[in-house]
Amino acid sequence: MDKKFAFRLLMVPILMYFFYLFSWPLEIIVLLGILFIGLILVKGKIWNTSETIIERLLPFTKVWPSWAQKILLILIFFIIYIILKQILFFILGMAGINLEEMIISTYDTTKP
């Protein structure tokens, strides 16, 4: 087994324990654990698929150095994350759930 892969899998329960110490709801901790393990298991597949899509859609990036291609991929993932987060916040807001307020109140109640 790859040492990095084993280390990532070992960090998930440690991180979940810290969430438990901060009094996060158990349902959220379980969902985050499943999400983290799922992302660890499909990390390479997502990265390779995204590289091939970028090379097909943006062929001029083939001549770029590998570090520049990685930065481009990270920026694209970051932009997609922000867009999806805003869509989710908007949908929840339309349903009457103010997620931002819930996060801030949870943070305020868990501060030492």
Domain segments of the chain as ranges: 1-57, 62-112
- Six token digits for residue 2: 């790859």
* Residue 24 confidence (pLDDT): 82
pLDDT digits (tens, 9 = 90+) for 36-60: 888 888 877 777 787 788 888 888 8
Which residues in the chain land under pLDDT 50?
Answer: none
* Residue 1 confidence (pLDDT): 67
Note the residue count of the chain: 112
- Six token digits for residue 10: 């070992």
* Residue 13 confidence (pLDDT): 92
* Residue 112 confidence (pLDDT): 63
Distance of CA 13 to CAs 34, 82, 92, 111, Å? Answer: 11, 27, 29, 22
* Residue 17 confidence (pLDDT): 92
Chain position carrying tokens 């949870």: 106
